[in-house]
Amino acid sequence: MDSDDIGNIVTRISQSIGPGLPNAAIHRRVLAFFENKFQVVPDVSALAGRIQQSATRMSAGLATWVPRITCASGLLRVSGTAGSGKTQLALRLLRDADAAGHKAAYICFNRALADHISQLAPVRMPAETFPRVCAAHGASIWRGGGL
């Protein structure tokens, strides 16, 4: 029903609910209509998008302030909960190192994550799992490469 048809509202409602005995459910719906009340159902996809935006906004701080930390060894070990921004931070640090001509690597325990980072990180920055790095290092020592 739109505003041009407001003169026929009583007829339209009568046609919609029909004649007969009073029905409490229909009565509540008609009252809700006139009181301009409605039931809102959340859109799950919109909610998921907002959660992602919020998580990205919150974790952006990690990628902003951690690069400002300096340490003599140049090694950083970052741990945090899921969604805290560790991956965004790692990509930022890898890109910064590449731009400065430094060597860097991404090492994690998750094969799928290492493969994902390999696709996003600069080409010359390896991304590998810790077990694979240990195996490669062990093989190097075994062949006489030393520490």
Reported as a single tens digit per residue, the pLDDT across 103-130 is: 888 888 889 999 999 898 888 888 999 9
Residue 129 has what pLDDT? 92
Q: Give the chain's domain count.
A: 2
Dist. CA 32–CA 39, nearest whole Å: 10
- Under-70 pLDDT residues of the chain: 1, 20-21, 55-61, 142-147
Q: Whole-prediction pTM value? A: 0.50
pLDDT at 112 (0 to 100): 92
Task: Tally Cβ neighbours within 10 Å of residue 86.
Answer: 19
| 147, part of any domain | no
- Give the orientation angle of helix 9-17 with respect to helix 24-34, to 10 degrees: 160
Tell whether 12 and 74 lie within a shared domain: no
Residue 25 sits in the same domain as residue 74: no
